[in-house]
Amino acid sequence: MSDPILPPETAEPAESVETPGSGGTASAVPSLIVRTLRLDETVDLLGHIPLAVSGAWLRHGQGMVALGTAWSVQTVGPHRFAAASAAFQAVAAAARVDDEVRTRTSGLIALGSFSYADTSQRSSRLMVPSALLGVHDGESFLTVVGVDEEPVVPTSWRDLFPSTPLQPPPSDELEVEADHTPDEYQALVQEAVTEIRAGRAEKVVLSERTTVTAEHRIEPAVLLANLARDYPSTWVYHLDDVIGASPEMLAQTETGRVFSRVLAGTRPVADDGELDEVDRRAFRSDAKELSEHAFAVDSVVERLAGLAEDIDVSPEPFVLRLPGLEHLASDVSARLRSGTTSVDVASRLHPSAAVSGTPREAADEIIARLEPHDRGGYASPVGWMDAAGDGQWAIALRMAHLNAQRVVTLQAGGGLVAASDPVSEHAEVLAKCRPMLRALRGTPTASEIEETPPEPLLGA
């Protein structure tokens, strides 16, 4: 395994890059030797998340589970996306890849988690795992990576990826403490709404943090399995200190096309149920919800304009149904300009109006005043990228920061417009914390129901 390295000189200057343990100014690009082997048997990914899992990306039983680190780069500041991407592309150009599967997510893959703000003290990171177990479109495979030498291929893939740790008995023994009392948070919402009504912004996304302390050690492998089983249509992710199950795809690219799924407008539903038809029709036609949703869609379309052409948007929002929540959703797709990578798109779209507001600068100023803590990896791009620059970057929502062996910090928010009601907005935030609380307690949800149009043409 190797330490992070500085990006090549073509990347942004070192003020945007941190390289702990690198010895200072090393700029040599390591030679990664990558081997992807086809596995003859069908692999149950959720059943083989090792205790020492270093990263994961899961949806509908497909995706990847990572172990160890062969290479990584950490970046900070306004150029963190460009610096990380340039560093990985330099490594990819020097890598030797033997891929007998040649499917999406096989070969050389980097997992990544970026920080929300340019000023964040939390580093953003791209990481190539030492070993990766993957499943895509019925193909199961193992990727192993060596640094300046041939990788060691295990006798059996199970030697690296044994069974997922046993789930502890369901427990309600969690200490849950929000940053604010309900009255305090609702007062902050009212203050933001007052700013909107005064014309200082059109939409502001305010969030709340909740610290959860468990009785026993919190194992990311167990949380990943719980989230992926209970919320199979979300993008379940983990890298470094972030873990969660996001319903929102910021940027997914493949062979010159980009897809983005925009969520804005939410209805909490009790007991994992669903809205009845009368309430759902009212939800779809609610002026407040449609206004909030339009801001989010417009922000994605406007920012794609410099990177893509032939932009297509869902003719009207559809309802995405998850246990305990229903969302207004729209899909945006476009043809990318040549040479544009998935990280380029994620950088351009982040933060969208779905997690920041409109206009972005005014919304960010209000957020900074009412929500002074660093968002860290919350509401920021998390996902993966291949050697060609294609990849998937979700927005880190329904998430937690892993703080200590028994402590995590949940974070969730909601979009505010002039018609927002503080009590309803607080209820929405509580509902968005429910998936992670259930995963921590080990209590399963009811079966997931989802009302969506067919999956996009890009691979999921």
Would you name the residues annotated as active-site residues?
Answer: 203, 248
Q: E strands, 317-398, where?
A: 318-322, 325-336, 357-358, 381-386, 391-395
Q: Give yes or no for a contact between 384 and 143, defined as CB atoms under 8 angstroms apart.
A: no
Residues in the chain: 460
Q: Give yes or no for a contact between 212 and 437, defined as CB atoms under 8 angstroms apart.
A: yes
Burial of 344-372, coded b for 16+ CB within 10 Å and e otherwise, reads bbbbbbbbbbbbbbbbbebbbbbbeebbe
353 to 102, 210, 357: CA distances (angstroms): 36, 23, 4
Alpha carbon dihedral 355, 425, 280, 329, in 10-degree steps, equals: 0
Nearest-5° Cα angle at 273, 271 to 276: 135
Q: Which phi and psi angles does 335 have, rounded to 5°? A: -95, 125
Neighbouring residues of 276: CB distance < 8 A, sequence distance ≥ 6: none
Neighbouring residues of 388: CB distance < 8 A, sequence distance ≥ 6: none
DSSP for 211-244?
A: EEEESSPPPHHHHHHHHHHH-TTSEEEEETTEEE
Cα 114 to Cα 16: distance, rounded to the nearest angstrom: 13
Cα 263 to Cα 260: distance, rounded to the nearest angstrom: 10
Query: What's the half-sphere exposure (Cβ side, CA atoms, 13 Å) at 4?
Result: 20
Cα 367 to Cα 381: distance, rounded to the nearest angstrom: 19
Cα 292 to Cα 205: distance, rounded to the nearest angstrom: 10
Question: If we measure between CA atoms, which residue out of 426, 407, 406, 408 comes closest to residue 416?
Answer: 426
User: How deeply is 229 buried, as exposed, middle or buried, from its count of CB atoms within 10 A (0-12, 13-18, 19+)?
Assistant: middle
Cα 49 to Cα 65: distance, rounded to the nearest angstrom: 6
Cα 110 to Cα 386: distance, rounded to the nearest angstrom: 6
